[in-house]
Amino acid sequence: MAAGSYVEPSYERDTRYIPDRITRDGSDGWPVEPGRYRLVAARACPWASRAIMVRRLLGLEDVISLGLCGPTHDADSWTFDLDPGGVDPVLGIPRLKDAYEKRFPSYPRGITVPAIVDVLSGQVVTNDFARMTLDFATEWTDYQRAGAPDLWPVDLREEMAPVMRRVYTEVNNGVYRCGFAGTQEAYDAAYGRLFTALDWLEDRLTTRRYLMGEHLTCADVRLLTTLVRFDPVYHGHFKCNRQKLDEFPVLWAYARDLFQTPGFGDTVDFVQIKQHYYRVHRDINPTGIVPLGPDLTNWCEPSGREALGGSPFGHGTAPGEIAPAERVPQAHNPAVGPDGELIVTQRIR
């Protein structure tokens, strides 16, 4: 997600990301190397949240360090407001923009998270959020934890590609088309597309526990980051209000099932999510008032989805304990305990 304002007649996301990849063979000049790279993210941002989730699911925490920006930013850059002195302790910079401009002076596009920064040079490597998580799953396998799930299985990729494309264009980005529409006509069209896609997902998930069947994949990660924001933000702030997520019987149960699985809900910070959208988007919320609701304790209710069979991690296992520095505060998520672990974890089968 980039810093800045978005409103225009019909919202179009700038998808011109830095295309470099970190690979085993280092073909783009960036070889896989433990400890060399820092993932800069923000828990408020859905695109960054998927990178945080995948990194935890695969057990890459000790291999790729994590820098967290605060939930709000100005029009210039995401900033390290959560760190002492407002400076990232590893990169030594106050603004993510500094890493972008270290490599590309006067970088012409938005300063987005997630971004991966080369700690050695202080330069941004990539901000291509979609490719980033797929590379975590495929290029970093030598350093993944024992029992890491296969989030991008070869035998499902052909089927997964159009599913993930539709989730991205119609749901992940669809809520933004509603929220940042500048005309009634643009909003009406965006609203129709979004709920058509949500109805399709409701139907698809009726007979399968996860988007691709019996086990979770990258597709589920991509969808959940939008679903957790739907009732707290998108329903009201973005006018995606045909119905709330908890009024979709299947999607709501699916979302709770994932949320209560280690690696998902334990990375979600609802307070930062609301602070970001309601305080940063002054063009659609001029007062900057952050709503107190909704009541989010319903995320702790059993989903019943285990009756469909399958298991989240396939032949793998759940991720381990969260490092103290990466725990979501208990007051920011009703499903986590004082140690940062989920207190309502789905039974792993």
What's the CATH code of the domain at 163? Answer: 1.20.1050.10
pTM of the model: 0.95
- 30 is an annotated ligand-binding site residue: no
Considering the domain architecture, whether residues 279 and 260 belong to the same structural domain is answered as yes
Asked whether residue 29 is assigned to any structural domain, the reply reads no
- What are 48-75's pLDDT values in tens digits? 999 999 999 999 999 999 999 999 998 8
Are the CB atoms for 38 and 67 separated by under 8 Å? Answer: yes
- Given the residues 11, 37, 176, 254, the one annotated as active site: 176
Domain that holds residue 291: 154-332
> Angle 316-319-323 (CA atoms, 0-180°, nearest 5)?
160
- Given the residues 6, 45, 69, 254, the one annotated as active site: 45
At 1, is the pLDDT very low, low, confident or very high (cuts 50, 70, 90)? low
Asked whether residue 134 is assigned to any structural domain, the reply reads yes
Asked whether residue 106 is assigned to any structural domain, the reply reads yes
Look at strands 65-68 and 115-118 and give their pairing: unpaired
Asked whether residue 345 is assigned to any structural domain, the reply reads no
The radius of gyration of the chain from alpha carbons, rounded to an integer in Å, stands at 19
Considering the domain architecture, whether residues 252 and 170 belong to the same structural domain is answered as yes
DSSP assignments along 133-179, one per residue: HHHHHHTSGGGSPTT---SS-GGGHHHHHHHHHHIIIIIITHHHHHH
- What are 286-340's pLDDT values in tens digits? 999 999 999 999 999 999 999 999 999 999 999 999 999 999 999 999 999 999 9
Considering the domain architecture, whether residues 170 and 259 belong to the same structural domain is answered as yes
| CATH number for the domain harbouring residue 78 | 3.40.30.10
Considering the domain architecture, whether residues 123 and 160 belong to the same structural domain is answered as no
Q: What is the mean pLDDT of the chain?
A: 95
Considering the domain architecture, whether residues 135 and 242 belong to the same structural domain is answered as no
Considering the domain architecture, whether residues 206 and 305 belong to the same structural domain is answered as yes
Asked whether residue 245 is assigned to any structural domain, the reply reads yes
> Is 240 a known active-site residue?
no
Asked whether residue 136 is assigned to any structural domain, the reply reads yes
Residue of 138, 348, 326, 325 whose CA lies nearest to 260: 348
Asked whether residue 273 is assigned to any structural domain, the reply reads yes
Considering the domain architecture, whether residues 133 and 158 belong to the same structural domain is answered as no
> Is 107 a known active-site residue?
no
What is the tally of structural domains in the chain? 2
